[in-house]
């Protein structure tokens, strides 16, 4: 039993998993609900038919369907743990829904059910497909919302879609399972021809409508998304280009001026920063030879009125004094100074990434951007990028004077460029040339793996190409969604409900009409049989009455004739004695007396035979009022009858068999039953077998709910069909010249029909023997006359 339960749970889990995975192919954005969820119907049907213990299989199957297998590859427990709990909660919702649905159906519809009336079908739809499907949608959508997988504005749409999908799954696929496995089996079996085709057709129509609407919706949203992506990208590219143009203006300042003071730079850079808030800082980075280092440090110390030395970062990230070198690129001026004071006098060439950018800029004489780095002035872990633009000081432009630079925090820059009000539901991700993530406009996956629509473009930043990716988040889907999907789902639910209800009722009523028709046919056959029996009984009763009346009328004159003839015979005997006393009576007189005595004996013998025949006629009219009714053990009583009859059939050499269960008790007229058996046995002994033939005669008894059946048969010569029709008529015999009177079977018929309140039929063919079928009640009704 335990192994069977485990096997059943595993089977439910596998079926639920397969059905769920197939259904997820039709999931609507953002992919948490689908138009039809067959697994819900399968789960409810299996629990209803096999028991509540299968709920664990539903939970396991749902868990496997919804788990995010990609998170198993994550080395971060925090990424895996929420997914595990989320899928487990959704599985709990699915199993609770199946249990609640089964309870509602058993409580308000009842099982087994036929669903052949409008009221019962409406209850099935209301409780099984409506109320019963709310727990799964509520628990699942709420879990997704609480874990941040589902936006608040998208909650009700997904809840509705989830509920409709489960409802259609129950309405269609639970009903399909009922057709093949539900009770009462004969009712649901009658629906196999048409109902599965209708339900599968409805599923195809609903899915087709859904797919059509979804494709139209996606194409419209794709076009809207492409237009919005173009706006976002152009804004980002234009703002970055504007910042680069600003750096060119700073380059022009230092290229055209022999000397730019700290105050000059502050005024010039202040205007730039006010117009371009994307800059974290703007700096002038002077190139200094090794022998000029102390002069530069002295000048900067005088300007800042505090000791200034050229610095670098050590391997721990701490600012330390720079070692002696032949050449330095030092941050000479930087604005805003207060926020970037730690970067002042920093040797840019001391770090690998900035040094690579400086070399590219000097070589190409064009802007060069660093890979993401930790800024010198940054106290946190946020990274930034720096764009360097070379400045030459000779007329030929071949002597590098230094670099102007723009410092950016990527997050701050993109946040300035791409405000949420501007994005309007579009998520933006920016990746550097190495594929590293620089920016994400929201907290979802920066790779956009769960996004419905993704667009990628190349954002040109100085000498690097950054990947600029946009994807549609849930806010975008809600903001651009039309009512078409809702309408299709609602129409599918309504259409399926009405059509399914109609065909359930129609097929149920069709089966009911077929059953009623079959019952009417049986009743008609019974009425026809009863009519035939009544006609036959009336005929036999009329014949019996005729015979009995005829016998009654003949009985008196025959009695008088017998009396008179007996007296005449006695007188003739006295006359004969008187003649013997006479001397020498005449020969002629003696002969006359002898002839009269002989004639008297012949007349008396025939009159007595006629009287005996009339006595037999009178037995045809059975008086039930005088019949004794009592309880008997049928086996014991019939055995006694056969024992008393054994001398008659043993002399003939025939085999007589009684097959009767020992447990049958019967309340009947034992005398009438014995008379029936005796007459049938005598009929077989007299008519069934040829002279010297040894046959087989059997009486087989069986019991049913309301009575017993007796089959009396022999393997004799039988009779033709036209004779079998008359076998119960009085005076009908096939052995007229051999002593048969034709009254034995007629007497059997009357006893069975009137005294024993049963029925008797005969079946025979030539050379196939005779078979009498007698049906008797377990207890006769003593009030039936």
534-578 pLDDT tens trace = 666 566 556 555 666 666 667 677 777 778 777 877 777 777 777
What is the band of 660 on the pLDDT scale with cuts at 50, 70, 90?
A: very high
Q: What is the pLDDT of residue 99?
A: 95
What digits encode the pLDDT tens for the residues 76-116?
445 555 667 888 899 999 999 999 999 999 999 988 888 88
Top-confidence residue, 753 or 582: 753
Residue 784's pLDDT is what?
Answer: 44
**DSSP string spanning 599-615?**
HHHHHHHHHHHHHHHHH
Residue 479, pLDDT > 70, answer no
Q: For the segment 594-607, what is each residue's pLDDT rounded down to a tens digit?
A: 777 788 788 877 77
pLDDT value for 627: 61
Both tokens assigned to 772: 């009498």
In Å, how far are 245, 312, 369, 387 from 464, measured between CA atoms? 16, 26, 7, 10
- Please state the rounded mean pLDDT for residues 421-429: 76
Is residue 376 pLDDT above 60, yes or no?
yes
Backbone torsion region of residue 283, taken as left when φ is above 0, otherwise alpha when ψ lies between -120 and 50, otherwise beta: beta
User: pLDDT higher for 638 or 744?
Assistant: 638
Tell me the average pLDDT of the chain.
81
Decide if pLDDT at 73 tops 50. no
Look up residue 490 and give its two tokens.
Answer: 């609602």
> For residue 342, what is the DSSP state?
G
Q: At what angle do helices 484-581 and 155-169 cross, to 10 degrees?
A: 20
pTM of the model: 0.54
Tell me: pLDDT of 487 over 50: yes
Taking the chain, what is the end-to-end CA distance rounded to the nearest angstrom? 59
Residue 516: the pLDDT is 81
Please state, in angstroms and rounded to a whole number, the distance separating the CA atoms of residues 145 and 86: 10
Q: Count other C-beta atoms under 10 Å from residue 222's C-beta.
A: 15
Of 54-58, 369-373, 527-531, where does mean pLDDT reach its minimum? 527-531
Between CA 245 and CA 260 the distance in angstroms is: 20
Report DSSP letters for 189-251, one per residue: HTTTTTHHHHHHHHHHHHHHHHHHHHHHHHHHHHHHHHHHHHHHHHHHHHHHHHHHHHHHHHH
pLDDT at 285: 92
What confidence tier does 443 reach under pLDDT thresholds 50, 70, 90? low
How distant is the alpha carbon of residue 457 from its chain centre?
47
Mean pLDDT along residues 417-437: 77
Please choose, from the candidates 641, 702, 630, 625, the residue with its C-alpha nearest in 3D space to the C-alpha of residue 667.
Answer: 630
**Residue range 188-192: mean pLDDT, rounded:** 85
CA angle, residues 718, 724, 725, in degrees to nearest 5: 175
Structure confidence at residue 46 (pLDDT): 93
């Amino acid at each position: 039993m335990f192994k069977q339960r485990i096997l059943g749970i595993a089977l439910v889990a596998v079926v639920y998993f397969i059905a769920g995975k197939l259904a997820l192919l039709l999931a609507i954005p953002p992919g948490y609900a689908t138009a039809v969820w067959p697994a819900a119907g399968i789960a409810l049907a299996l629990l209803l038919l096999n028991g509540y213990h299968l709920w664990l299989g539903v939970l396991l199957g749902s868990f496997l369907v919804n788990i995010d297998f990609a998170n198993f590859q994550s080395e971060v427990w925090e990424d895996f743990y929420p997914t595990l709990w989320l899928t487990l909660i959704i599985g709990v919702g699915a199993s609770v829904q199946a249990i609640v649905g089964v309870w509602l159906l058993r409580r308000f519809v009842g099982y087994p059910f036929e669903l052949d009336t409008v009221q019962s079908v409406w209850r099935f739809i209301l409780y099984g497909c409506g109320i019963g499907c709310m727990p799964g949608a509520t628990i699942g959508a709420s879990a997704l919302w609480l874990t941040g997988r589902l936006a608040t504005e998208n909650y009700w749409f997904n809840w509705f879609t989830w509920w409709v999908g489960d409802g259609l799954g129950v309405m269609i696929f639970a009903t399909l399972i009922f057709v093949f496995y539900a009770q009462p089996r004969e009712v649901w079996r009658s629906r196999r021809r048409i109902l599965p085709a209708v339900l599968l057709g409805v599923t195809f129509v609903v899915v087709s409508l859904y797919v059509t609407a979804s494709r139209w919706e996606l194409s419209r949203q794709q076009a809207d998304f492409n237009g919005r992506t173009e706006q976002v990208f152009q804004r980002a590219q234009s703002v970055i280009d504007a910042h680069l143009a600003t750096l060119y203006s700073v380059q022009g300042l230092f290229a055209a001026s022999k000397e730019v003071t700290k105050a000059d730079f502050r005024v010039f850079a202040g205007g730039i920063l006010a117009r371009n808030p994307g800059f974290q800082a703007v700096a002038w980075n002077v190139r200094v030879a090794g022998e000029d280092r102390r002069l530069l440090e002295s000048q900067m110390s005088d300007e800042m009125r505090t000791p200034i030395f050229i610095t670098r970062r050590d391997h721990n990230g701490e600012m330390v004094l720079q070692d002696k070198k032949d050449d330095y690129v030092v941050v000479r001026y930087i604005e805003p100074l207060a926020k970037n004071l730690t970067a002042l006098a920093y040797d840019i060439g001391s770090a690998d990434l900035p040094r690579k950018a400086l070399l590219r800029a000097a070589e190409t004489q064009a802007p060069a951007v660093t890979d993401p780095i930790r800024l010198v002035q940054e106290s946190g872990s946020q990274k930034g990028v720096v764009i360097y633009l070379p400045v030459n000081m000779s007329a030929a432009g071949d002597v590098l004077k230094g670099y102007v630079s723009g410092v950016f925090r990527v997050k701050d820059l993109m946040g300035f460029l791409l405000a949420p009000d501007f994005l309007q539901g579009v998520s933006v991700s920016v990746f550097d040339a190495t594929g590293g993530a620089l920016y994400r406009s929201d907290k979802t996956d920066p790779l956009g793996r769960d996004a419905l629509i993704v667009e990628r473009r190349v954002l040109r930043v100085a000498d690097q190409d950054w990947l600029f990716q946009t994807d549609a988040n849930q806010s975008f889907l809600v903001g651009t969604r039309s009512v078409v999907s809702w309408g299709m789902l609602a129409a599918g639910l309504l259409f399926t409900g009405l059509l399914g209800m109609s065909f359930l009722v129609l097929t149920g009523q069709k089966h009911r009409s077929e059953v009623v028709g079959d019952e009417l046919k049986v009743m008609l056959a019974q009425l026809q049989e009863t009519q035939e029996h009544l006609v036959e009984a009336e005929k036999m009763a009329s014949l019996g009455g005729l015979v009995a009346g005829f016998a009654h009328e003949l009985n008196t004159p025959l009695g008088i004739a017998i009396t008179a003839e007996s007296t005449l015979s006695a007188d003739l005997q006295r006359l004969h004695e008187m003649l013997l006393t006479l001397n020498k009576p005449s020969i002629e007189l003696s002969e006359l007396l002898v002839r009269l005595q002989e004639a008297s004996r012949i007349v008396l013998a025939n009159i007595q035979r006629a009287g005996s025949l009339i006595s037999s006629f009178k037995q045809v009219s059975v008086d039930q009022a005088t019949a004794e009714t009592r309880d008997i053990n049928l086996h014991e009583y019939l055995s006694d009858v056969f024992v008393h009859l054994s001398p008659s059939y043993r002399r003939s050499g025939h085999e007589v068999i009684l097959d009767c269960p020992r447990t049958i008790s019967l309340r009947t007229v034992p005398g009438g039953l014995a008379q029936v058996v005796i007459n049938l046995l005598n009929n077989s002994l007299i008519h069934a077998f040829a002279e010297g033939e040894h046959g087989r005669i059997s009486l087989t008894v069986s019991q049913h709910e309301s009575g017993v059946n007796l089959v009396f048969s022999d393997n004799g010569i039988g009779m033709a069909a036209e004779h079998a029709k008359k076998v119960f008529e009085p005076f009908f015999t096939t052995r007229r010249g051999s002593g048969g009177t034709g009254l034995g079977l007629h007497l059997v018929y009357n006893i069975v029909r009137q005294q024993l309140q049963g029925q008797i039929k005969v079946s025979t063919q030539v050379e196939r023997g005779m078979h009498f079928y007698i049906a008797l009640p377990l207890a006769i009704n003593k009030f039936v006359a």
